[in-house]
Amino acid sequence: MLDANALSLSTHKANRMPIWLGAILLFTLGFLILPLIVIILFSFNSSQSLSRLEGFSLRWYETAFGNPDVVASLGMSLGIAAGATALAVLIGTGLAWAFARGHKKATTPVEGLTLTTLITPELATAIGLLTLFAMVQIELSWLTVLIGHTTFALVYVTVIMGNRIRTMDRALEEAAYDLGASGLDCFRFVILPSILPAVLSAAALAFVLSFGDFVTSVFLTGSEISPLPVRIYGMLRFGLTPEINAIGSALTLVTVLIGILGVWLATRNNGKRQ
């Protein structure tokens, strides 16, 4: 006869994480989070020391965001990230729909070519775009940065939306048409509610990728205002200061919050599908 207590204890032990795996997990989290904690702590340092905390102060945030060049770069990064997100979501959703619902013989080669950008080094893509703009004599500006960011964010949106569209229940669309719904009504009341969580998740990821991007930005930025990551790199040439820590902390806060939002939306989407 089975002992319920023994069975419960056995199940508990089976579900318990091994000590070695927990140690690896803690080490990995510490390795990833510790640099961020250091940046945030020293951004509130009252002195200019980067090795010793001497008190709490907001002076470096006041200095950083009182700098008109930093504020202009922040505004440019936010604007480009918003524009790249909108373009990537629109184009990427269209591509994903075509790949999922289109004729496979026509769409499969295009889809394969599109997905290769996931493994293509961003440096190579940025150099390729720079060469292309030089060939067609397009002057480097915020527009070229926007095109570059849209290019590399597009594939991530396509993958996320493609996975969602392929798992949609097409019987719901067929039922809507059988009940007399028009194509627009079917899209508004059936398709859009089904893909909206995935759209928002993809948009959050695209925004984070664009807002924090450095490689593409540094190659495609013109001589006017630079995106914030490029501005930070330029400031580093004069040495690391608490002011840079303050800017980095703000940059981290924006990306982490939007990243968490994207993960939450993706988890919520998966929960609904189950």
| Residue 52 forms part of a structural domain | no
Q: Is the domain of 147 the same as that of 25?
A: no
Q: Are residues 145 and 35 in the same domain?
A: no
In a domain? residue 50: no
Contacts of 63 (CB under 8 A, 6+ apart): 243, 246
Domain total in the chain? 2
Q: What is the pLDDT of residue 42?
A: 82
Q: Is residue 54 part of a domain?
A: no
Residues 18 and 124 in one domain: no
Q: Indicate whether 39 and 80 sit together in one domain.
A: no
**Model pLDDT for residues 105-147, shown as the tens digit of each residue:** 888 888 888 888 888 888 888 999 999 999 999 999 899 999 9
Quick one: three-class SS letters along the chain? CCCHHHHHHHHHHHHCCCHHHHHHHHHHHHHHHHHHHHHHHHHCECCCCCCCCCCECCHHHHHHHCCHHHHHHHHHHHHHHHHHHHHHHHHHHHHHHHHHHCCHHHHHHHHHHHHHHHCCCHHHHHHHHHHHHHHCCCCCCHHHHHHHHHHHHHHHHHHHHHHHHHCCCHHHHHHHHHCCCCHHHHHHHHHHHHHHHHHHHHHHHHHHHHHCCCHHHHHHCCCCCCCHHHHHHHHHCCCCCHHHHHHHHHHHHHHHHHHHHHHHHHHHHHHHHC
d(CA 225, CA 174): 51
68-112 pLDDT, tens digit each: 988 999 999 999 999 999 999 999 999 999 888 888 888 888 888
Q: Are residues 77 and 31 in the same domain?
A: no
100 shares its domain with 10: no
More confident residue, 12 or 251: 251
pLDDT at 229 over 70: yes
pLDDT score, position 4 = 54
Same domain membership, residue 19 and residue 151:
no
Residue of higher predicted confidence among 238 and 158: 158
List the domain range (segments joined by +) for residue 22: 4-43
pLDDT of 53 above 60: yes
Same domain? For 178 and 223 the reply is yes
pLDDT value, residue 8: 54
Q: Is the pLDDT of residue 7 over 50?
A: no
Please indicate, yes or no, if residue 203 is contained in any of the structural domains. Answer: yes
| Residues 111 and 10 grouped into a single domain | no
Tokens for 123, please give them.
Answer: 């440096």
Choice between 255 and 269, residue whose per-residue pLDDT is larger: 255
Indicate if 211 and 82 belong to the same structural domain.
yes
Say what percent of the chain tops pLDDT 70. 91
92/187 same-domain check: yes
For residue 204, give the CATH number of its domain. Answer: 1.10.3720.10
